Amino acid sequence: ANAFIEEDDEDDASSANAIPSFPKTPEQIERIRFAIKDNFLFKNLDEEQEMDVLTAMREVTIPAKETIIQQGDAGDYFYIVEDGELEVFVKKDGQTLDLSAGDSETLGKRVVVYHEGASFGELALMHNAPRAATIVSTTPCTLWALDRVSFRTILLDHTSRRRREYEAFLAAVPILSSLKAGERAKIADVLESRSFEAKQDIIREGELGDEFFLIESGAAEALKVIDGVETVVKQMVKGDYFGELALLNRQTRAATVRASEKIRVAALGEQAFTRLLGPAKDIMARTAGERYGW
Ligand code: 1OR
């Protein structure tokens, strides 16, 4: 049992897999949001999943000099540091310690120090492995804790759910229809979803580009400066693509693409574009003249 977290007795089966809900003030929600905003684990969550994470987190306060995670133990919670400082130690056989540099005779090498915004404890939960390090508070700390079941349900299922969603979307994208389902699945794995508000530029004419985009929802327009005037040259909707020219021709962006309304795009990096698009890439190259009226 976790010494810092009081657990409910949950022996009825119905609640075993439910994501818990801990009421929070809007201010607390904002603080957690801030703490997770740059964290890779939370980067690709949609709004509903982010809300699930936010409600499932519980606040934990820990005095100084407490061991919150012990190397070798089973994993129970994932943590985000709201404030305070913690030290991370890794113990290995035959390791040389430098006690003057912060290493500990009993806990091993001090590998990192965590402050506000850091997160830890994900490895054991992701891989069903023993804790890989020991984590000790150096000052009193406030942490946000996410239990193992919620962590796995929200963050890991998410990957496969996104993959399924993307596969359906990609199957309906005309330019990708020449690919096999297995090839589209590989693309689904590497696509990165991004949102833009109306009037925001997604790419800009003249800039260097290293990404290709598919429109997941919403609409955009392509604009070019013609005789000094920014002119709309193309309208694009769900299923359309853009950004391929810079990758095909290794030139700067030939147009600006601006969201006409709130839009979600799926971005594919240059290497993946070359490696995964295969025949679709050839079609894009062949049809570019027709598409852009050259
Ligand atoms: P966990 O669930 O295994 C301990 O519980 C946590 O310490 C671990 O997840 C990570 O979040 C965190 N090696 C292993 N775990 C580390 C390391 C680490 N640093 C932080 N944690 N390092 C490698 C040392 C040979 C240090 C990398 C800077």
133 CA distance to ligand 1 middle (Å): 5
Separation of alpha carbons 205 and 210, rounded Å = 13
Domain stops at, among 153, 181, 213: 153
Atom 25, ligand 1: which residue's CA is nearest?
90
- Specify whether 137 is located in the same domain as 201: no
Residue of 111, 134, 136 to test ligand 1 pocket, by largest number of atoms within 8 Å of CB: 111
CATH number at residue 186: 2.60.120.10
Domain stops at, among 88, 121, 153: 153
Atom 27, ligand 1: which residue's CA is nearest?
111
Domain stops at, among 102, 119, 153: 153
Q: Enter the tokens of residue 98.
A: 């430098």
- Specify whether 144 is located in the same domain as 265: no
Which has the higher per-residue pLDDT, 208 or 156?
A: 208
Over pLDDT 90: what percentage of the chain?
A: 57
100 CA distance to ligand 1 middle (Å): 21
For residue 133, give its domain range: 13-153
Least confident among 34-43, 85-94, 247-256: 34-43
Q: What confidence tier does 14 reach under pLDDT thresholds 50, 70, 90?
A: very low
136 CA distance to ligand 1 middle (Å): 12
In a domain, 162, yes or no: no
- Specify whether 141 is located in the same domain as 181: no
Query: What pLDDT digit, counting tens, does each position of 230-256 carry?
Result: 999 999 999 999 999 999 998 999 999
Judge residue 249's burial from the number of C-beta atoms within 10 Å of its C-beta, 0-12 exposed, 13-18 middle, 19 or more buried: exposed
Work out the mean pLDDT of the chain and round it to a whole number.
89
Say what the ipTM of the complex is: 0.93
Query: What pLDDT digit, counting tens, does each position of 265-274 carry?
Result: 999 999 989 8
Residues with a CB atom less than 6 Å from ligand 1: 69, 75, 88, 90, 111-112, 120-124, 131-133, 135
In a domain, 8, yes or no: no
Residue of 2, 40, 69, 88 to test ligand 1 pocket, by largest number of atoms within 8 Å of CB: 88
- CB count within 10 Å of CB 34 equals 12
Please state the atom number of ligand 1 nearest to the C-alpha of residue 75.
2
Residue of 80, 112, 156 to test ligand 1 pocket, by largest number of atoms within 8 Å of CB: 112
In a domain, 158, yes or no: no
In a domain, 166, yes or no: no
- Specify whether 148 is located in the same domain as 181: no
- CB count within 10 Å of CB 265 equals 28
- Specify whether 192 is located in the same domain as 148: no
What total of structural domains would you count in the chain? 2
